[in-house]
Amino acid sequence: MTTTITPGPPEAVAARATLVPLAARETRRFVLNPVFLFAVAMAEWITWTGGGGATTEIDEVNGYPAVFLGGFGMMVAYWLTRSMRASEPVAGVTPVTRPARTAALCTVAIVPFCCGVLTLFGFLRSYPVGDAVYGAFSPPARIAVLVGQIVVPSLGGPLLGVALGRWVRFPGAAFVLFLVIFGWVELVTILTLWHQDSLPAAVLRLFSPFAFFTVQADSDGAVMAWRGSPWFFIGWQLALCAIAVLVALLRGAEGPVRTRTIRALAITGAVAVILLVLAATGGFTYAVAT
Amino acid sequence: MVTASISLRDVGRTFGATRALAGVDLDLGPGVTGLLGPNGAGKTTLLRLLATALPPSQGKVRVLGLDPEVPAERTGIRRRLGYQPQEAGFPRGFTAFAFVDYIALLKEQSQPAARHAEVRRVLDLTGLSDLGAKRIRAMSGGQRRRVSLAQALLGSPPVLILDEPTTGVDPEQRVTLRTVLAELARTSIVVLSTHQTEDVAALCERVIVLDRGRVRYDGPVTDLTGQAAGRVWLADAPDPAASISWRTGTGRYRNVGTRARDGAEHAEPSLEDAYLLLLRGGSPEPETTQEVTS
């Protein structure tokens, strides 16, 4: 028996046709995860109700959306990525390559990102941008601070979870990473409290997917705005998001795709370093109390 | 124009210092080919090579004329491939329908209505039409095996690679699955590995026996069975002249060896007899006799 066999339609065309339904499938699994539903409920309750108490500076509450949407989102995305690992002998010999499946998984981050945007509006409703709780930052910079503390972590957390799920086998890796990031943020925040005008301290504080920009200066309600540019910090965070996606896509990539991914990773890494330096050296060059 | 076939030329595969396959030359065409061999013979490694799950350490593999080592051609193979691995894991919380539907999506069946119809078809073929909504974790081992087979049957692929498809499946379902595979094999290349010689005898025109990574036999099932003609006999006790003996349900011993005693009561050889004889080396003067229970 002879038949005409061709390699089939170009990989990119078929991959595009499958990517949308596959992404929709993964997104549905992500949204229906009870941990994510709990995280969204908590984030929205805290921000739309203003946390239920008087707040004199925003950093008492704006860490919560990052924890719930970013941190919990990271863990859910990690579980989602790992969930198909047992079926890899079957899924691994389908025409949809692992990078394509990874790309579909990465699209689930749109959901927590949208929740992050919603949370931002809730936050601005509870704490209008003209309030004194934002410290010395200009109104646009105040928005930038909130975007960097609420919206971008909501996007980046799940992306980090996918990257972790693609490369790490340890089941509790996402939770461990969450604790590490949480501990690091606490550590560098304490360090900044001691050295508020120090550039190295600012670099360390911003060398993180989440950073505080203000702190309550004294018991009278004065707010201290720390040095650093919230605009460049958003750039640094987005570069971290891109790195997470590229690292995730690298798993299973081969040939020209692998080469291109590694090249993009190198470029993004260089851009991230530049943005981190700009974030630390831009904005206020010393702590400003209001 | 290329021949719809699979060819392996001097194919070998090693895992560290362990040689799983060595010098395998095969040509496979439409029909059912059975793969027999003891544990560790290299059956699963060979099937994984054919399924593009593993590259060979040496030699060349061609599936439908395509080279699995070239990424674009590997994708071409995978579009025409159904593969049931020896141990398929299932994601937590998935129902049979959801899992097979997910794999159908990965097989680029992106139109929901057509995909769902295809999923229902393969679940029906494997006797799971009533269990589609049941969580896989709650299923028996045989039912899970059938879910694994169902996903391999998606799209009636031209190449179907099955690693122990009937393990844990009840006799009635095994007969049904044989019918399904026989029908598919009219146009497709079906390669199945199994320890059930009766499945091979009932289903396959051709059998390949692997032993320690090498092909020990490759030919028609009837020819292999025929090699045991006159070498199987019954006795009231294990015969020291036999390569292997076992007690049957009647209480008598079935002896398989290269030379029966004069006057022995000969029995009709089965594929299992021939397979055992082949693996025992078939030497005229066997050095040891081993008794096993049936």
Domains of chain B: 1-80+157-224 (3.40.50.300), 89-156 (no CATH), 227-293 (no CATH)
- With respect to residue A2, please indicate whether it lies within any of the assigned structural domains: no
> Measured between CB atoms, does B113 come within 8 Å of chain A?
no
The answer to whether B148 contacts A255, with C-beta atoms less than 8 Å apart, is no
- With respect to residue A271, please indicate whether it lies within any of the assigned structural domains: yes
Domain membership of residue A178 as a residue range = 13-289
- Tens of pLDDT, residue by residue over B175-201, are 888 898 999 998 899 999 998 898 899
Is ipTM beyond 0.95? no
- When CB atoms are compared, the residue of A91, A93, A254 closest to B71 is A254
The answer to whether A86 contacts B65, with C-beta atoms less than 8 Å apart, is no
Residue ranges of A 219-278 with Cβ closer than 8 A to chain B: 254-255
- Tens of pLDDT, residue by residue over A212-265, are 998 877 666 788 889 999 999 999 999 999 999 999 999 999 889 999 999 999
Q: Which positions in chain A touch B91 (Cβ < 8 Å)?
A: 83-84, 86-87
> Measured between CB atoms, does B83 come within 8 Å of chain A?
yes
The answer to whether B2 contacts A4, with C-beta atoms less than 8 Å apart, is yes
- Tens of pLDDT, residue by residue over B211-224, are 999 999 999 999 99
The shortest C-alpha distance from B232 to chain A (Å) reads 38
User: What number is the average pLDDT over the span A90-110?
Assistant: 95
- With respect to residue A233, please indicate whether it lies within any of the assigned structural domains: yes
d(CA B130, CA B118): 15
> Measured between CB atoms, does A85 come within 8 Å of chain B?
yes
> Measured between CB atoms, does B99 come within 8 Å of chain A?
yes
- With respect to residue A212, please indicate whether it lies within any of the assigned structural domains: yes
- With respect to residue A6, please indicate whether it lies within any of the assigned structural domains: no
- When CB atoms are compared, the residue of A8, A83, A93 closest to B52 is A93
> What band does A285 get if pLDDT is binned at 50, 70 and 90?
confident
- With respect to residue A5, please indicate whether it lies within any of the assigned structural domains: no
- With respect to residue A254, please indicate whether it lies within any of the assigned structural domains: yes
Whole-angstrom CA distances from B86 to B11, B21, B158, B220 are: 21, 17, 20, 25
Number of domains in chain A: 1
- Tens of pLDDT, residue by residue over B249-287, are 888 999 998 877 777 888 899 999 999 988 886 543 333
DSSP string, A48-99: HTGGGS--SSGGGTTHHHIIIIIIIHHHHHHHHHHHTGGGHHHHTTSSS-HH
The answer to whether B106 contacts A96, with C-beta atoms less than 8 Å apart, is yes
Name the 3-class secondary structure at B269: coil
